[in-house]
Chain A
Amino acid sequence: MKHREKWKRVDGPARIFVLILSLVVWNEIMDGKKTVFLILLLILAIFPPFVLSQYWLHVMIISLFYVMMASSWNLLAGFTGQVSFAHAAFSGVGAYLSGMLAVFLGLSPWLGIAAGTLGAAILGLGLGFLCIRMGGIYLSLTTLGFSEILRIVITNEDHWTRGTMGLQIPGLFAAYSKTSYYFAFLFFAVMMLVFIYWLIRSEWGVTFRAVLNDEIAASASGINTIRVRILAFTLTSAMAGLAGGLYGHYLMLITPDIPSLGQMFLVLAMAVIGGMGSFAGPIIGSFILEFLSEYIRTWGEYHVLLYGLIALAMARFAPEGIMGLWANKRRNP
């Protein structure tokens, strides 16, 4: 009994941390297979709604949103080398399109999310097309411009979007329950991750990385680099739209903060700190940074500054992020 009480006094993130850490250690000791580890992790993922307080469950849900955002951005930036700053903007497209369809046309949120995903994909296709001949900093600046344009339009068209006051939209479920949201987010995050995992290990993954490594050499080897880049742009925009749609219907109040650059840099920091170009990096980065955010909440906007500095330091000293450090350690213990 004493044991139980002690456990209860430990707060949410510490519990999760202890559980995952023991799983990792166990896996290392047993020299376990990846699949076993993943299955255990999935089983573990069922428990949060039953062991966490409502507050920490909320943090888990937000973390899952960032997992979707950072992983899909990583697919674009870490695998095809297109460092886009419009990813948060596309999540905004998903959130606002779905939200406004629900508010003005009374469309079901689920259909709205599908429409938002499609809308983000179409806009992504257009922006990707515009950026075909751009690489590096030019592409980043163009997407940054797009992101700001979208945010300003949403802020100013307040008879449609209610601007900075935010638009109230219906939730996903008739009865509000964080447990339902948690499982919905978990389902979509896992589905998205499975898709990304499959993609980067398929032929597409090889061509994505070839384009990232050297576009000229890739095209001289018969790869249609333009198609690869546009495909990556469209797919990842759709993923951001989906994540944004879910996020909006969870918050039930959408503001221009969703498609803001602050949000974008947070996603970027999560991917960079976790490890760009790796599969697990952005997932780990999302959880660490979102949980950390809760502890430094009182800093307000300064936490983005802190993350920016950490991301900068990581980019300089450990460009492959936490995953890279880990992989190095495993290679030369």
Chain B
Amino acid sequence: MSVLIEGKNLSKSFGGLTAVKEVDFHLSEGEIVGLIGPNGAGKTTLFNLITGIFPPDTGTLSFRGESLLERKPFEICRLGIGRTFQIVRPFLKMTCLENVLVGIIGRGEKGQGKGEKHEEAREILQVIGLAAHEQRLSKDLTLIEKKRLEMARALATKPRVILLDEVLAGLNPSEIQQALELIERIRSQFRITLFWIEHVMGAIMKASDRVVVLDQGRKIKEGKPQDVVTDPGVIEAYLGEENA
């Protein structure tokens, strides 16, 4: 398996607060890698570094050998890294179809007509299970539908990797089940590598090939899900007294 994204010695502070400290990680093609850690561990900051929302203070980041530093978010997206947001950010005053269209237009490819783009957007909505809501404004969707729409928009950019930021948070057990099926389909059907932040431990244990644990900005453990949950350091940092 070839390495897709690789980060070395990444650090980022905001004023006196160190959000990410000397983190090394990599993603290989076809993997599902979970990113866990208590609140404030720096998980979303790591995502923001990868997608170019802000640059790291130190360290290197590369995608298939090409450096991601000095690249703007839209360029990183066009290279093949899509994402969703912890607090959902669909384009609220636009229809579902238009939301997905933005992702398609964002690829910046020439030669595809307006009709073809609409057709493709409809297909993606179909896959993601939102076909019936094509003409609805995304602000009128439920939370899980908004999360699905964000995934649809990310898929529309034809990514090699999707970074999912807490897609399961706020969903009920049956919705979590649906979302997990969708994630598995994204991997098998679209052959997309996944890097996901999640607090729902059961889900991350079941669906991840590998888990990376952050605590206070540092990577404290990395390995197979079952090894990670039994690690005393992880239990202390992440699961707390309640579960220890």
Using a CB–CB cutoff of 8 Å, the interface residues on chain A facing chain B are 202-203, 206-207, 209-210, 212-214, 216-226, 277
B244 interface residue, CB < 8 Å from A?
A: no
Asked whether, in the complex, the Cβ of A206 is within 8 Å of the Cβ of B105, the reply is: yes
B191 interface residue, CB < 8 Å from A?
A: no
Q: Interface readout for B66-83 with A: 1 if CB under 8 Å, 0 if not?
A: 000000111001100011
SS class of chain A's interface: helix, strand, loop or mixed?
helix
**Neighbouring B residues of A217 by C-beta, 8 Å:** 85, 89-91, 153
Rounded to whole Å, the gap between the CB of A107 and the closest CB of chain B is 40
Whether A214 contacts B91 in the complex (CB less than 8 A), given A219-B72, A221-B153, comes out as yes
**Neighbouring A residues of B92 by C-beta, 8 Å:** 213-214
Complex CA distance for A117 and B89, rounded to whole angstroms: 37
Among A214, A223, A226, the residue within 8 A (CB) of B106 is A223
Asked whether, in the complex, the Cβ of B93 is within 8 Å of the Cβ of A221, the reply is: no
Closest 9 CB pairs of A and B: A222-B106, A213-B91, A219-B73, A222-B77, A217-B89, A221-B106, A210-B102, A219-B74, A221-B103
**Neighbouring A residues of B53 by C-beta, 8 Å:** 216, 220
**Neighbouring B residues of A216 by C-beta, 8 Å:** 53, 73, 85, 89
B51 interface residue, CB < 8 Å from A?
A: yes
**Neighbouring A residues of B105 by C-beta, 8 Å:** 203, 206-207, 222-223
**Neighbouring B residues of A277 by C-beta, 8 Å:** 93
**Neighbouring B residues of A206 by C-beta, 8 Å:** 94, 98, 101-102, 105
Which one of B92, B93, B106 has the highest number of Cβ atoms from chain A below 10 Å of its Cβ?
B106
Q: Which residue of B lies closest to A228 (CB)?
A: B74
**Neighbouring A residues of B46 by C-beta, 8 Å:** none
Complex CA distance for A203 and B102, rounded to whole angstroms: 8
B108 interface residue, CB < 8 Å from A?
A: yes
Which one of A203, A210, A219, A222 has the highest number of Cβ atoms from chain B below 10 Å of its Cβ?
A222
**Neighbouring B residues of A224 by C-beta, 8 Å:** 72, 74, 108
Whether A222 contacts B91 in the complex (CB less than 8 A), given A206-B101, A206-B105, comes out as no
Asked whether, in the complex, the Cβ of A222 is within 8 Å of the Cβ of B93, the reply is: no
Whether A225 contacts B102 in the complex (CB less than 8 A), given A209-B94, A217-B85, comes out as no
B206 interface residue, CB < 8 Å from A?
A: no
Asked whether, in the complex, the Cβ of A210 is within 8 Å of the Cβ of B74, the reply is: no
Among B90, B98, B108, the residue within 8 A (CB) of A222 is B108
Asked whether, in the complex, the Cβ of A221 is within 8 Å of the Cβ of B77, the reply is: yes
